[in-house]
Structure 1
Amino acid sequence: MAVATLSTNPAVAKRTTYGKAAARRVVRRTPMVKKSLPAGLPREWYEAHNRRLKAMRLAIALLDGGVYTPERARNRTIRTTAARIGVHPPSNTTCRLVRSLIIENAR
């Protein structure tokens, strides 16, 4: 039976298995710092940028949920996933973009 012990040093945690001590590194993931978007670009650029960000979030959520092929990523599935992760329902264009991202990851 494995017994885990905590260490005061956050970079190293010790795990003891049948009297054998093993050190493993604890990786802390912090969110990236948001940067403001560049000013002065046409409105279409901002819309396309936000559409790509939304499509990436949805594609990641679908892949995490077990949808690995674009055939299984129908509009209804994508919109259900959007509701589950708290994103506004995507348009048909965004759904197409999500499927194209899944195709790229499948190759």
Structure 2
Amino acid sequence: MPAAALKPRPLPTQSTARRSVPLDSPYEPLSKTPLPAGRPREWYVTHNRRLKAMRLAIALLDSGVHLPVQARDETIRSTAELIGVHPPSATTCHMVRALMRYAR
């Protein structure tokens, strides 16, 4: 049996499919589900802090701040105000810079 016959075929894309492939536009966010119950309070605080840091890191990257050195606390807090998030603490700002550093 030839090796080409054993190779899996790639999934069709929008341009190669015989019928249209449904796309995700317009984008709708997933419905929120409640967090699991029974965890310590610190877990919920850390979880929400990570989500906030991720949102801020994405907003900073979109605005052109690509290096953690460029993301001072003032810059992060002004971005938070711009996207409608409560001002982050120093710990959250540190986490934003850490996310930017590891994304590289």
TM bucket (normalised to shorter chain) is: 0.7 to 0.9
Tell me by how many angstroms 1:64 deviates: 0.4
Give me the whole-angstrom Cα distance separating, in 1, the residues matched to 2:29 and 2:102: 25
Task: Tell me the residue number matched to 1:78.
Answer: 76
Distance 1:69 1:84 in 2: 19
The structural deviation recorded for 1:103 is 0.5
Determine the C-alpha separation between the residues in 2 that align with 1:26 and 1:55.
29
Work out the CA distance in 2 between the residues paired with 1:56 and 1:35: 18
Deviations 1:36-62 (A, max 9, x none): 000111000000000000000000000
Q: Structure 2 regions of 5+ residues with no counterpart?
A: 1-13, 15-21
Q: Which residue among 23, 27, 30 is the counterpart of 2:28?
A: 30
Provide the residue aligned with 2:47 in structure 1.
Answer: 49
Q: Distance in 2 between matches of 1:32 and 1:104?
A: 26
Higher relative contact order (CA closer than 8 Å, sequence separation 6+): 2
Q: Distance in 2 between matches of 1:78 and 1:32?
A: 26
Unaligned residue ranges in structure 1 (runs of 5+): 1-11, 13-24
Q: TM-score w.r.t. structure 2 length?
A: 0.76
The structure where strand makes up a greater share of residues is 1
Aligned to 1:32, what secondary structure does the other structure show? coil
**Aligned-partner Cα distance in 1 for 2:40–2:24:** 40
Residues of 1 paired with 2:57 and 2:87: CA distance?
14
Which contiguous aligned blocks of 4+ residues in structure 1 show a shift greater than 2 angstroms?
none
**Match 1:67 to one of 65, 68, 77:** 65
- Relative distance call for 1:38 and 1:27 in structure 2 (3 A) is closer
2:9 matched residue in structure 1:
none
